[in-house]
Amino acid sequence: MTEGPGEFALIAELAALFGTPPDGLGIGDDAATWPAATGTMAVATTDMLVEGIHFRLDWTNPVDLGWKALAANLSDLAAMGAMPGRALVSIAIDPARRELVLDVARGLQSLAALTGTWIVGGDTVRSPGPLVINVALFGQANPSRLLRRDAARAGDLVGITGVLGASAAALALLSEGAGPMDPAAAPLLAAHHRPHPRLAAGQVLASHGVRCAIDISDGLASEALHVARASGVGIEIDVGRVPLAPAAVELLGDRRSRELALTGGEDYELLFTFDPGLRVELATALDADGGLTVLGEVTDRVPPGDARFVEDGQPIEPAERGYVAF
Ligand SMILES: [Mg+2]
């Protein structure tokens, strides 16, 4: 909070919670500062979560919310082949709920500590409206190994890490369920509330010669289209090869799980294209962080700028192209 009694104490508490980086450049000055690394590319991303639009506090606890706010940003860095450095976090909150700030901060810090991220500043403001959290994350990458959306080439294979649809399946169960959640939903809820961004996989891709990647935050169909448009290539994806979250199949059935895998959001897996000659070494190298599933290819059969889905050789249209933020 920028004014009022007790705000110095809150900032001191947050500063203690977030800790001080080894170089001593933490919270406490007018602006955050850190040494600029020579020979590296600075990479920055920001993401805003608004209560009622992106989350509901009756479905998500504030600690998980803090985790997820940072995870979304870390996933964007992973998709660039970058590693995180420092973050600024701003929160707008109704003063009557200000005790939530420390819980959000605890969630942020637990993922920050796991990923080598230091939270070195931000802002807290009073707002009578919905809770809003903004994270601005700064990191770095090797400039010759950046992963970009515009680097897909004809003949590339299309791969992903992990399984898809788990988070969307959890959201579907939360929005439908009046009673207690089926214990079988636990892995889906974990994927929804505490996603693990694929930072290690992003490093593997970058170091093994992959040049094109995007993270799956808005659904596979939408992200594949982003890559096709940015690269000016056609992408064909075989729906039958899309790996589904087993618990989603168990609780929602094969058909619904598949639809959620194509159009649901917040998977935070990586979608990438690569030279077929890299397939074997990538499969081995990705073993430790999500594995590799080949879904399709970059091909002249599909017009440039389009991503097509086929099932048993026949084109299909996913119901929607993912969640569209405005
Ligand atoms: Mg992204």
| Four-CA torsion 296, 300, 302, 305, nearest 10 degrees | 100
Q: What is the mean pLDDT of residues 197-203?
A: 98
> What is the 269 CA–ligand 1 centroid distance (Å)?
10
> What is the 10 CA–ligand 1 centroid distance (Å)?
32
Go through 137-147 and write b for each residue having 16 or more CB atoms within 10 A of its CB, e for each that does not.
Answer: bbbbbeeebbb
Instruction: Give φ, ψ of 111 to 5 degrees.
Output: -80, -35
Q: What is the DSSP string of 202-262?
A: HHHHHHTT--EEEEESS-HHHHHHHHHHHHT--EEEEGGGPPBPHHHHHHH-HHHHHHHHH
> What is the 214 CA–ligand 1 centroid distance (Å)?
6
CATH 3.60.15.10 fits 157-316, yes or no: no
Q: What is the CA radius of gyration of the chain?
A: 20
| Cα–Cα separations (whole angstroms), residue 296 to 118, 270, 271, 324 | 38, 14, 11, 24
> What is the 245 CA–ligand 1 centroid distance (Å)?
21
> What is the 262 CA–ligand 1 centroid distance (Å)?
16
Q: CATH 3.90.650.10: which residues of the chain?
A: 157-316
Q: CA 300, CA 304: separation in Å to the nearest integer?
A: 8
Q: CA 81, CA 281: separation in Å to the nearest integer?
A: 17
Is residue 46 predicted with pLDDT exceeding 90?
yes
Cβ atoms of 232 and 304 within 8 Å: the answer is yes
| Mean confidence (pLDDT) of the chain | 93
Beta pairing, strands 307-311 & 235-238: parallel
pLDDT of amino acid 326: 38
> What is the 230 CA–ligand 1 centroid distance (Å)?
13
Task: Select the more confidently predicted residue: 18 or 314.
Answer: 18
pLDDT of amino acid 4: 57
* Residue with the two structure tokens 């707002």: 127
Q: CA 38, CA 60: separation in Å to the nearest integer?
A: 40
> What is the 158 CA–ligand 1 centroid distance (Å)?
17
Tokens matching residue 165: 């649809």
Q: What is the mean pLDDT of residues 207-222?
A: 96
Residue at 5: amino acid letter: P
> What is the 77 CA–ligand 1 centroid distance (Å)?
8
> What is the 79 CA–ligand 1 centroid distance (Å)?
7
User: In percent, how much of the chain has pLDDT > 90?
Assistant: 86
Beta pairing, strands 293-298 & 235-238: antiparallel
Which DSSP state fits 263? H
> What is the 48 CA–ligand 1 centroid distance (Å)?
13
The CATH number given to 7-145 is: 3.30.1330.10
Is residue 197 predicted with pLDDT exceeding 90?
yes
> What is the 32 CA–ligand 1 centroid distance (Å)?
25
Tokens matching residue 143: 């400039």
Beta pairing, strands 212-216 & 235-238: unpaired
Model pLDDT for residues 160-169, shown as the tens digit of each residue:
999 999 999 9
> What is the 16 CA–ligand 1 centroid distance (Å)?
31
pLDDT of amino acid 317: 79
Stated pTM of the model = 0.94
pLDDT of amino acid 5: 54
Q: What is the mean pLDDT of residues 141-159?
A: 98
pLDDT of amino acid 157: 98
Q: CATH 3.30.1330.10: which residues of the chain?
A: 7-145
